[in-house]
Amino acid sequence: MTKHDNIAQGWSRDQMAARAAQELRDGYYVNLGIGIPTLVANHVPAGITVTLQSENGMLGIGPFPTEDEVDADLINAGKQTISELPHSAYFDSAASFAMIRGGKIDLTVLGGMEVSENGDIANWMVPGKMIKGMGGAMDLVAGVKKIIVVMEHCAKDGSPKFIPACTLPLTGRNVVDMVITDLAVFQRPDHTSPFRLIELAPGVTAEDVKARTTAHYIT
């Protein structure tokens, strides 16, 4: 987790991913973004079947391979080596984005640099800095049924990332349904309602969250 003054606990990156995995449902088609979201694949709840999709043209992504299982030609959209399953399917990027834009993907878990109180997300560009870039994020936030953002609550300089209005270039407007940070979970039932604080990480109080959040939310 991000180091926060006077907070001894909170969720690790892996625990944040595990919390996001609790939102998966049997039969879902799911796209996982780069970074923390990729860890969600390790926490799919027992007893349900989830099919993972990647923008570079794969449906049915298996677990991360062990060192002796690595196939350098088999990667996800974040260029990480992955494994295949007996039912895996391969296709071109046009078909992949048709699935995304056509509303065929039930849920996506994305990283975020900033999320605003009205559900805007900025996660693809920091002016003057070299980062991975857009990828399929703009298509995902426009076409997927449910958008979950997993991110650390504060930036490295301690500034909040859940804020009144995004300052970085936007990926999408009014699209985020749930925000999971190392401190808390925020959710809203629809895109006209405010976010509600629904869960606190271990060792974190509501006052801790309030002191590190400038976005408006309800409890």
Domains of the chain, by residue range, sit at 13-211
Give the contacts of 67 (CB within 8 A, at least 6 positions apart).
Answer: none
CATH number at 13-211: 3.40.1080.10
Closest C-alpha to 96, from 76, 121, 111, 124: 76
Instruction: Convert the pLDDT of each residue in 69-125 to its tens digit.
Output: 999 889 888 888 989 899 999 999 999 999 999 999 999 999 999 999 999 999 887
Catalytic: which of 55, 114, 117, 152?
Answer: 55
User: How far apart, in whole angstroms, are the C-alpha atoms of residue 48 and residue 25?
Assistant: 7
- Which tokens hold the place of 208? 């801790």
55 carries an active-site annotation: yes
φ and ψ at residue 147, rounded to 5 degrees: -115, 120
Contact 36, 16 (CB under 8 A): yes
User: How far apart, in whole angstroms, are the C-alpha atoms of residue 167 and residue 107?
Assistant: 26
The pTM of this model reads 0.91
Closest C-alpha to 86, from 118, 51, 37, 120: 51
Instruction: Convert the pLDDT of each residue in 143-200 to its tens digit.
Output: 999 999 999 999 999 999 999 999 999 999 999 999 999 999 999 999 999 999 999 9
